[in-house]
Amino acid sequence: LNDGDEDNDPIIISVRSQDDYNKGHISGAVWASPTELFAPDMLSKLDPDREIVVACYTGQTASQVTAGLNNLGYNAKALLHGMSSWTTDPDVFVKRFNPEKHAHDYMTESGS
């Protein structure tokens, strides 16, 4: 995701919990909580001319944070599928939904 050249590397922001960030994160990533990231003092630290990549667990929170940043004029993108697509390290990644374990056979209906 980055090559160590600050001139072309994106700003990488992890919005997972700080404990999970400390267990493992993308090289060069900084940590921020999704809510604190939008505080004026935090936003002032972001360079609006640099691409921003937001990483979370599965991509959902990162997509919401990215939408907010883009609405404020930043060039932000969410890491597709989050850390679950970045690493297979069991201490870092999130297992995807397991339908055999978590799906229920609730009634459904179709039509109007």
Residue type, position 70, single letter: N
Topology (CATH level 3) of domain 11-92: Oxidized Rhodanese; domain 1 (3.40.250)
pLDDT at 104: 65
How confident is the prediction along the chain (112 residues), in pLDDT tens digits per residue?
A: 777 787 889 999 999 999 999 999 998 899 999 999 999 999 999 999 999 999 999 899 999 999 999 999 999 999 998 888 888 887 777 666 566 666 666 666 767 6
Stated pTM of the model: 0.82
Residue type, position 52, single letter: I
Domain ranges of the chain: 11-92
3-state secondary structure 31-84: ECCCCHHHCHHHHCCCCCCCEEEEECCCCHHHHHHHHHHHHCCCEEEECCCHHH
| CA 109 from centroid of its chain's CA atoms | 35
